[in-house]
Amino acid sequence: MALSSRSNPFFNALKSRRHKYDPAEIGQLFAKVDQQRIDHLANALTGYISTNLPAAFEKRDGLADYRTNPYVLMTSASVMGLGDPEKFGDFLFNSKLYMALETSFGKQIEAAFVGQYPIQATQKWTDAPEKVAEFAELNGLNREERAQQRIGSVWREIDRSCVVGNRRYMTSIKSGPNTINDTQVAGMTAAILNNYQAWMAETTKTYPHVDQLDIVLGLTYGTDRTTNNKENQILVKLLQQGFVEEDAGTKPGVLIDHATHRVRVYRCIGRDFWAFIGQPDAPDTTQYVFLEVLLALSKALGQGIAAADLEMRINAKLQHLALALTKLKFPRNSLPEWVRDDFTENQLFWFATAMTAFYDEGI
């Protein structure tokens, strides 16, 4: 039976926290950020931006490469008054650029930034060595064979791992509060239930001094109240199958395995995620890490965009796109009389742009 977030006390507890913007608090957090670390983070990302940001739009040539949902396209154009080819071109370009970056950029942020932490630890966040070894065994297989083998991967859902003291931390990183869907809920729940004992066994084998394991579902932005609740559904399903709350009063949402009390599962969202990345054994001391990430990204964007001369390249693409849109005109004498009478020039323009979703060539 489906659980309602409105009636379930566990959901309510997890959704109860509110993050309120406080300029005074931000000022205090700014005092703790490390300039040298920000520069290092920015440098790690600058090269990627200057090389890969242009790739998000340079490969697009004609209108066919900007194909999008024709029904939403027409509605958006009407609501926003995009009857001018230049304005419509800007809209198409920006929409596609955003979607392309949303797909690829998150993983690069993860790779460039997460690996620079924890702040106080001898080992930084890395790919789990067991995952590296597992995937190395797939070398020599073709794409289809690798995909088939990865279905049964024990380590597939684990993105990063580190050890601090006698505890190992493993995290599955999702970009934002609406990333996880129902299929992923089922997959991630099964991955934890089927593998947490193996993860613990491999951990003690790889790190003999470690006797505790934390498995963390991480969302890189958002708040407890703004998620689609899917990460909480994973926790509820675990509660029904061998996990219990460690302490509902002081640690809401922190689960521990009932059998050994050595494996914990919880989620960290937005600021809390970056604080966890900054120092997983003491996240209360690193609430400023999200500021370091945002400052480093801002600096890297300034450096990378200048290095790639993106402004000139984007303007060239926009002009090319606007020119193609101006050609999407029907000779009025080719249209039925009732179409000429009932449809304005803007309406015919939106109609023509929507038609591009149905053709591969000639547009």
**Position 114 pLDDT exceeds 50:** yes
pLDDT value of position 96: 79
Neighbour-count burial of 73, counting CB atoms closer than 10 A to its CB (0-12 exposed, 13-18 middle, 19+ buried): buried
Point out the least confidently predicted range of 87-101, 218-232, 254-268, 283-297: 87-101
Q: How many CA atoms lie within 13 A of 194 on its CB side?
A: 12
d(CA 205, CA 207): 6
CB 324 within 8 A of CB 43: no
**Do the bridges between strand 251-257 and strand 167-174 make them parallel or antiparallel, or are there none, so unpaired?**
unpaired
Torsion of CA 82, 87, 90, 94, to 10 degrees: -30
Confidence of residue 62 (pLDDT cuts 50, 70, 90): confident
pLDDT mean over 93-104 = 76
Mean pLDDT score, 86-108: 78
Structure tokens at 322: 């606007």
Question: What are the tens digits of pLDDT across the range 148-162?
Answer: 666 667 888 899 999
**Average pLDDT over the chain, rounded to whole?**
85
Q: Residue 160: which of 311, 283, 305, 274 has the closest Cα? A: 274
Distance CA 231, CA 182 (A): 10
1 pLDDT band, cuts 50/70/90, is very low
Q: What proportion of the chain, given as a percentage, has pLDDT over 90?
A: 41
Q: What is the mean pLDDT of residues 44-63?
A: 76
Distance, CA of 168 to CA of 201 (rounded, Å): 12
DSSP state for residue 286 in the 8-state scheme: -
As a whole number of angstroms, the distance between CA 296 and CA 8 comes to 40
Torsions phi, psi for 21 (to 5 deg): -65, 130
In angstroms, the CA 347 to CA 202 distance is 63
Q: What token pair was written down for 313?
A: 């390249």
| pLDDT confidence tier of residue 98, bands split at 50, 70 and 90 | confident
Among residues 289, 315, 352, 249, the alpha carbon closest in space to that of 41 is found at 289
Residue with tokens 């790889």: 206
Other CB atoms within a 10 A radius of the CB of residue 93 amount to 19
- Closest alpha carbon to 164 in 283, 285, 281, 287: 281
Q: Tell me the residue type at 25.
A: E
